[in-house]
Amino acid sequence: MEIRIERTGTPKQKPAGALGFGKIFTDHMFEMDYDPENGWHDARITPYHDLVLSPACVVFHYAQEMFEGLKAYRDAEGRVRLFRPDKNIERLNNTNLRMCIPPLPPEDVLQAIRETVLTDESWIPTEPGTSLYIRPFIFATDVGLGVHPSKHYKFLIILSPSGSYYAGGLAPVKIIVEDEYVRAVKGGTGFAKVGGNYAASLIGQEKAEQSGYAQVLWLDGIQHKYIDEVGAMNVFFVIDGKVVTPLLEGNILPGVTRDSTIQLLRSKGYDVEERRISIQEVYDAHAAGRLDEMFGTGTAAVISPVGELNWDGNRITIHNNEIGPISQMLYDEITGIQYGRREDPFGWSMVL
Ligand SMILES: *Cc1c(COP(=O)(O)O)cnc(C)c1O
């Protein structure tokens, strides 16, 4: 694929101080269009700019869109690394299939990510734990209010330098179980990375924050009994030394960090079960003193230990509200591979 590059004549001032997450954007962006005559075409890297769109664009009314999220890391030798981009690209096309968006050739997506990141390489922060967040996304641009898959799309990639998720070390979070609202159901779009899942989750997230909790633990949409996932993270429990995580049944997002966690644990001889796990089982395990650890996994936080769980007013403290040994080991291993500090037996880290 040929990518035309138009460089900005007015580069922005790089931020000084705390970066946060998703607030600052780099000098350039990637753009590509789709129409039925030309397929995906006109790949270009342009100065970061606002878009002009018709108010009748399909995406605004019927939410035909998708997104991905991954990071670029600067290693100790100054090289730029990605972590398992093939998995994100595979998931991008799985989401597209569900959303009736035309698939993209995987090698073109990788090339788009690589060239865009390298164009704005100077924006990759170097402080420990920082990275360049990569946000590819696609949306429907047909003009009209009829309900049917769009015939025109835009594929964009924007980049955002992001700070260390744990400025003060790997701190446990408080999570509240949501038993009124649901995020997704089997047969719906839970396994697809789409904005609609997040739109449906905002009300639960608001409720959680109002009660002083960081995130929501979502239960299955039918019985409100089995655990799905946490906000933008997959979830794991350590019970009696065994690691348990909800299986992929169509209602949860197949996280790249989830998959990496399972593979790493198995390679180290841990027993990992992918199965349904009810919230009652977690509380029973806690009551019996068998719940050793709970943690979330996702690109943003990598591993997020859970220190407190609240289910309908019943609060439990997990691992004394401290980081457990498995959570810490996984965090060290995965970030070690991402930043090229540790041996990478799986070949997950890609030098650009
Ligand atoms: C992106 C996402 C995750 C985490 O996936 P990773 O590939 O590990 O970043 C988990 N749950 C939801 C709902 C997500 O959108």
Domain boundaries, the chain: 4-162, 173-338
Q: Atom 10, ligand 1: which residue's CA is nearest? A: 233
154 lines ligand 1 (CB under 6 A): no
Residue ranges in the chain assigned as alpha helix (H): 58-62, 85-98, 106-119, 195-210, 256-267, 279-287, 325-338
pLDDT at residue 21 is higher than 70? yes
Instruction: Using a pLDDT cut of 70, give the percent of the chain over it.
Output: 99
Annotation: CATH topology of 173-338: D-amino Acid Aminotransferase; Chain A, domain 2 (3.20.10)
Fold agreement (4-162, 173-338): no
d(Cα 191, Cα 252) in Å, to the nearest integer?
5
- Cβ neighbours, 10 Å, residue 9: 6
Nearest atom in ligand 1 to 257's CA: 8
Cα(28) to centroid(ligand 1), Å: 25
- Comparing CA positions, the residue from 201, 202, 205, 224 lying closest to residue 213 is 205
* Residue 170: per-residue pLDDT: 79
Class of domain 4-162: alpha beta
pLDDT at residue 239 is higher than 90? yes
- At residue 65, φ and ψ (nearest 5 deg) are -165, 170
* Residue 168: per-residue pLDDT: 63
Cα(235) to centroid(ligand 1), Å: 10
pLDDT at residue 192 is higher than 90? yes
- At residue 34, φ and ψ (nearest 5 deg) are -130, 135
pLDDT tens-place string over residues 298-331: 999 999 999 999 999 999 999 999 999 999 999 9
Residue type, position 280, single letter: Q
Torsion, Cα 182 187 192 197, to 10 degrees, reads: -20
pLDDT at residue 185 is higher than 80? yes
User: What's the whole-number average pLDDT of the chain?
Assistant: 95
Residue 283's SS3 state is: helix
- Comparing CA positions, the residue from 10, 20, 14, 23 lying closest to residue 121 is 14
d(Cα 88, Cα 94) in Å, to the nearest integer?
10
DSSP conformation class of 241: T
193 lines ligand 1 (CB under 6 A): yes
Q: Residue 58's pLDDT band (boundaries 50, 70, 90)?
A: very high
Q: Residue 7's pLDDT band (boundaries 50, 70, 90)?
A: very high
